[in-house]
Amino acid sequence: MDIKRLMSGLLGFPFVLAIFLIGNKYIVDIALTIIAILSMSEYFNAISKVSKPVKWLGYLSCLSISFIHVIPQENLNMVVTLSVPTILIILFAQVIATQMKTNFKDIAYTFLGIFYVVFFIMFIAFINGMKNGNILIWYALFAAWGTDIFAYFTGKYLGKHKFSKVSPKKTIEGCIGGTLGAVIMMVIYTYFANHYWGMDLSYISITIIGVILSLVGQIGDFSASSIKRYVDIKDYSNLIPGHGGMLDRIDSLIFLSPIAYALFTIL
């Protein structure tokens, strides 16, 4: 399992590197749309055990990520804001149109999924589209995946105290080690950003941001685990050997992305 996990990570990293370093914001938006569709499919497959989600609206919502940087900036906030009540109106219209064959539970799970997958992934696109976004986006990636990597190895070799029944294998030592490892990665990255890429970022600010993002990302990891335990599955899929599904791989990243966007905006 460890070999599969390592190989998948090594093979996947160049792809991520190419997308965010070489691809422009439109290419990144399309890549994120594909990721959202895969993630939405995994989410729907999971909750189909306990409900009948409105799949067509979920997949249609995923496509909206492709248009984030096509819509004029002055109209984008209004479009995103109005999309929330619009989605809810459409879902209740589905309940009415189907004579309640689609019920409240179905649309509640669907609404949650659209927020959980589409809106959270959307903030990755927002970060990438910021000034110096191609540099800032890596802080979010290091916060999420750095935490995962260091938490895994710290927990495996030093973990003794279980953290939560939501994810029985995770330990307090792993959670602490994950945060420390992610922050160290982000501080080292800041050195290169400041000295080679023209940034002027405070190491103290990045350390604080790193701690916040790592902790939020771990809440995202536990949140994904709570959904899987609720529907009694181990992984969302077997798409990525050693990691599970797409949602298993990005659960931390999508959770911390809105907070990262807010912090980068302030920074």
Which among 34, 23, 29, 31 has a CA at the least distance from the CA of 67? 29
Tokens of 196: 């080679």
Between the CA of residue 229 and those of 105, 137, 143, 234, 244, what are the distances in Å?
A: 18, 31, 25, 8, 15
- Flag whether pLDDT at 224 surpasses 50: yes
Higher confidence at residue 129 or residue 3?
129
Report which DSSP code applies to 171: B
CA distance 30 to 118: 13
CA distance 112 to 42: 14
pLDDT digits (tens, 9 = 90+) for 36-80: 999 999 999 999 999 999 999 999 999 999 999 999 888 988 999
**For the ranges 27-41, 81-95, 160-174, 201-215, which has the lowest average pLDDT?**
160-174
Task: Output the pLDDT for position 13.
Answer: 58
- Flag whether pLDDT at 109 surpasses 90: yes
Task: Output the pLDDT for position 1.
Answer: 44
Contact yes or no for 69/124 (Cβ under 8 A):
no
Round the CA-based radius of gyration of the chain to a whole number and report it.
Answer: 19
